[in-house]
Structure 1
Amino acid sequence: MTSDSQTPLEKTTAAPRVLIVGAGAVGAFYGALLHRGGATVEVVARSDAEVVRAEGYRIDSPLGDLSFRPTAVYETVDAAATGGGGGPDYLVLAVKVLDDLDRAALIAPAVGSATAIVLIENGIDIEAPIAAAFPQAPLISGIAFVGARRTAPGCVQHQAFGRLVLGDYPRGIGPASHRFAALLEAGGMAGKLTDEVVTERWRKCVWNAAFNPMSVLAGGADTRRLLAGDEPLLRSLMQEVCDVAAAEGHPLPEPLVSASLASTRDMPAYKTSMALDFLAGRPLETEAILGNVVRAAERHTTPVPHLRTLYGLLRLRAAAQAA
């Protein structure tokens, strides 16, 4: 069950403190909304830290000028933990889910006794390591439907969308989720609350597991080129994801595949996050976006011939890129 309405907590005298770890295009965009919504926003920006500290973020958006200056800018999570004066109310993790990154160890120094962790990341089965490492912390899983890209240090172009679907992991909607959604709404983008966030992850995966890998194998092609090139293949890939989701106990509506393809045809040509990473020579989220779906299919002996082939080809392409 999902709900577009929120029941915000009563206002507190202190603005909630939000630390964003992974303040690239997506992290900076949601940081700007939280800042406009009344939160005190701090960021771990790594390579962009010097520019952001001096000039803030410049964010061009259909919503208007979302530019803002974070309250504090850190190069590392350790520095944020030392300089922040205790754990934040919310720690937003918006890094890529990569095989060689221990995300729990990354954020551990900054997680306080009253910190809620918010994951704004792609993929399936990405929450479990964080939940295991921080059993005392409310864990909010966030699924972002947003087109945004970094154009220069500290500069972000928000191209389209922005909706964030939120819910407690593995299910439910707690006070921390309500308050976070209320901050987003106050900042100009309503957060959609759901008590079945894992199902919502599978819903997004139907698009992600098809378009992201295909965009890489097509050399960084945008959505228009992919649809023109082989829409039937995209449809088959998406249907296989639906079959795996159902086997996992998360059945999705029958018209979802056709509706997703139709909405993609209607939007401007768009390069997926994986295509952008591929073109920039960055590591790909192969396992989180596609590999975990194939492994789920294996657990249930669900036939996924197209996804399995795509996974093998993508791994070969990633290995060639890394060589």
Structure 2
Amino acid sequence: MDILVVGAGAIGGYYGGRLAQGGARVSVVARSDYEAVVQDGIAVESPAGDFVFRPHRVFRSASEVGAPVDVVLVGLKVLPQIPVVDLIRPAVGPSTAILLIQNGVGIERPVAEAFPHNEIISALAFICVSRSGPGRVCHQDYGRIVIGRYPQGTSRTAEALADLLQKAGVPCQVSTDVVTDRWQKLVWNAPFNPISVLSGGASTREMLESEEMTRLVRAVMEEVCAVASAAGRALADDVVDRMIADTRKMTPYKTSMLLDYEAGRPMEVEAILGNAVRMARDLAVPVPHMETLYALLGALEQRNPPRASRS
């Protein structure tokens, strides 16, 4: 299987490397890290064992690929200023599947509309991982991934990708209802990412050591569940308690949104909060805590504009 990773940062670098370990031929598009990746590959530090991912080929853009690939893996942040469709189009052929390993809800629709005849595979990574430098990835904890055909069902390509990941030791579940799974992941992302920034840099452990912040985390989680239910994506009754309990056991972790804010990069405000808030308004579901976090993050970005673009 020929795979092209577009967005070879933390997510793309880690899962691209694991897919290569599983037997795929994996190339990458690396923009700001191009020289480092060409020279040394992508070095991954991981509790499951450090390794160096040496891509089959390295490109500065998908326009250099030359021929369509079997799968385009999108590991880019979901940001208004990143034109995912334009960036991947040169590598997408009639039979190319598009694998989106990204945060948020409602993120597949623009890609599905741009490529109506291509298979869209949506994926959610439950992982603590960050880009620690050019061509360097630090995997701290977890790593499980859920994939499924969008908007529902499964496929031979999804099953094949899961097999490659499992061969590399990555726990991978193939879901027949990946949209509902996205809502479940948002239960975690919607509170922890924004609160980590607005609290002045709290880690997951520090947030849950505070009784007041824990109460806020729970309130936001319950609002996400309410919106999901109204959207026809009801989640398990114990999902909030389970997410909080699992996070208490997690290695203390700085969220991806906090890392982006501290580095002066744009934050995934719309993907993680904005889309869900707009859905809540459309469905007449009150989400006062999410509305507050969304407004505060917007104000923060206006007062402190991003200094760096995402590579």
Q: Is the CA contact (8 Å cut-off) linking 2:140 and 2:251 kept in structure 1?
A: no
- Residue aligned with 2:122, SS: strand
- Residue aligned with 1:91, SS: strand
The CA deviation at 1:319 is: 1.2
Tell me, in whole angstroms, the C-alpha distance in 1 between the residues paired with 2:79 and 2:88.
15
**CA offsets, 1:210-252, max 9 Å, x none?**
1001111112221111112310111001000000000000000
Which of the numbers 167, 172, 175 marks the counterpart of 1:191?
172
Aligned to 2:148: 167
Matches within 5 A, 1:53-72: 53-72=38-57
1:110 is aligned to 2:95? no
The CA deviation at 1:66 is: 2.4
1:307 is aligned to 2:297? no
The CA deviation at 1:100 is: 1.9
**CA offsets, 1:107-135, max 9 Å, x none?**
11110121110000001100000001111
Tell me, in whole angstroms, the C-alpha distance in 2 between the residues paired with 1:284 and 1:297.
21
- Residue aligned with 1:64, SS: coil
Aligned to 2:102: 121
Tell me, in whole angstroms, the C-alpha distance in 1 between the residues paired with 2:158 and 2:51.
23
1:259 is aligned to 2:242? yes
> How many matched pairs?
304
Tell me, in whole angstroms, the C-alpha distance in 2 between the residues paired with 1:169 and 1:26.
20
Q: Is the CA contact (8 Å cut-off) linking 1:33 and 1:66 kept in structure 2?
A: no
Tell me, in whole angstroms, the C-alpha distance in 2 between the residues paired with 1:173 and 1:234.
33
1:236 is aligned to 2:219? yes
Matches within 5 A, 1:205-284: 205-229=186-210, 230-284=213-267
Aligned to 2:309: none
Q: Is the CA contact (8 Å cut-off) linking 2:61 and 2:87 kept in structure 1?
A: no
Tell me, in whole angstroms, the C-alpha distance in 1 between the residues paired with 2:131 and 2:271.
22
- Structure 1 length normalisation: TM-score? 0.92
Tell me, in whole angstroms, the C-alpha distance in 2 between the residues paired with 1:187 and 1:148.
17
The CA deviation at 1:102 is: 1.9
The CA deviation at 1:145 is: 0.5
| RMSD of aligned Cα (Å) | 1.0
- Residue aligned with 2:95, SS: coil
What runs of 5+ residues in structure 2 fail to find an aligned partner? Answer: 307-311
Q: Is the CA contact (8 Å cut-off) linking 2:74 and 2:101 kept in structure 1?
A: yes
Matches within 5 A, 1:86-165: 86-165=67-146
Q: Is the CA contact (8 Å cut-off) linking 1:220 and 1:278 kept in structure 2?
A: no
The CA deviation at 1:101 is: 2.0
**CA offsets, 1:8-53, max 9 Å, x none?**
xxxxxxxx10100000011110011101100001001111111111
The CA deviation at 1:169 is: 0.3
Tell me, in whole angstroms, the C-alpha distance in 1 between the residues paired with 2:83 and 2:130.
24
Aligned to 1:9: none
Tell me, in whole angstroms, the C-alpha distance in 1 between the residues paired with 2:226 and 2:45.
39
Tell me, in whole angstroms, the C-alpha distance in 2 between the residues paired with 1:151 and 1:91.
24
- Residue aligned with 1:26, SS: helix
1:23 is aligned to 2:4? no
1:50 is aligned to 2:35? yes
- Structure 2 length normalisation: TM-score? 0.96
The CA deviation at 1:75 is: 1.2
1:200 is aligned to 2:181? yes
- Residue aligned with 2:192, SS: helix
Identity of aligned residues (%): 47
Aligned to 1:10: none
What runs of 5+ residues in structure 1 fail to find an aligned partner? Answer: 1-15
Tell me, in whole angstroms, the C-alpha distance in 2 between the residues paired with 1:32 and 1:101.
23
Tell me, in whole angstroms, the C-alpha distance in 1 between the residues paired with 2:223 and 2:71.
36
Pick which of 206-215 and 224-233 moved more. Answer: 224-233
